[in-house]
Amino acid sequence: MENVKKFKTIDEQIEILLSRGMKVPDRQLATETMKYIQYYRLSGYWLSFYKSKDTFRAGTDFNTILGIYRFDRELRACLAPFLAHIEIAVRSILAYKHAEEFGSTGYYKSDNFKDLQLAQKWISDFINEISYKNDNAEIFIRHHKTKYNSIFPVWVALEIVTFGKTSKLFSNTSGSFKKKVADEFEVNKHVKNRFKDEYITNWIHVAVVLRNMCAHHSRLYDKWIKVKPKLTKQDKVKLNISVSEESTYSYKVFHVIYAIKNLVRDEYILNEFIDKLDVLFCKYEMYIDKEKIGFPENWKNLLKSP
């Protein structure tokens, strides 16, 4: 425990920043900010401003850091309805196609999936989750527990489990079933038919990752996404990702957005999202570098292209 860092007051934290060369034009603003946004959370936003371990680059300013932080917060808020549209569509289409193919409770049967053990674990986890739902649970959950002995049709089950669990259920289905879901998203417009099932599996997964990052207030600015979005050869050309650098390429939030836009069938949703992004970039243009989140100059054309 001796090596754990000791507590520092907010004044001491500000002194550390000053000693490392950061300008703090308004100390009161910095103090009030760090009451409600702790030093450790803010530190992720000034990492790229270091010249060396304990020295900031000349001109590093607390107000700039705060501007970037606020931009990042609003970017997550901007992404929320866009991701919600994708999540709701995936849940809905998966539930419908699964019930159509296997019946309303076909997801209880592990032989309807590729990996029996994963299917059994999914059901076991679902049953455990339902068993913990008490009288405060949603009315529809209490209704199915009481009237149907806790047997839930798939369209109800997929309204209960997380988006991550929904993604896992989908990824364990057969390639032929995935193609049926992919057809509903018109994935064949973007990739060759023989590849589309693996693309849609990846896109749903990276949508989950980005959704969870936003829900848990994770930093998006100047951060690479660990789960790589699957892109076609044509997309990589458009995004200037060469074959030689593909394995080490730092995928950022734009690359995820570019991939998962293929799951948006409503042009209004996509265009509204693009417009909101444009307004956001204009609002914070004096603080941010769009390349830090992977956005190229022609980002609007790329997001609007099929």
Phi, psi at residue 215, to the nearest 5°?
-65, -30
Quick: pLDDT tens for 194-239.
Answer: 557 899 999 999 999 999 999 999 999 999 999 999 998 899 999 9
Average pLDDT over residues 16-25: 98
Tokens read off for 246: 């593909």
Average pLDDT over residues 54-79: 98
Give the start-to-end residue ranges of the domains of the chain. Answer: 10-60, 72-304
- The alpha helices in 161-265, defined as continuous H runs, are 163-171, 175-184, 196-215, 233-238, 253-260
Nearest to 257, CA basis, from 240, 274, 241: 274
Predicted local distance difference test score (pLDDT) of residue 136: 66
Answer positive or negative: Cα dihedral of 168, 169, 173, 178: negative
Structure confidence at residue 135 as a pLDDT band (50, 70, 90):
low
Quick check: 179 pLDDT over 60? yes
Quick: pLDDT tens for 182-204.
Answer: 999 988 777 765 557 899 999 99
Residue, of 122 and 192, whose pLDDT is higher:
122
| DSSP code string of 241-287 | --GGGGGG----HHHHHHHHGGG---HHHHHHHHHHHHHHHHHTTTT
> DSSP character for 293?
G
- What is the C-alpha to C-alpha distance for residues 22 and 220, in angstroms, rounded to an integer? 22
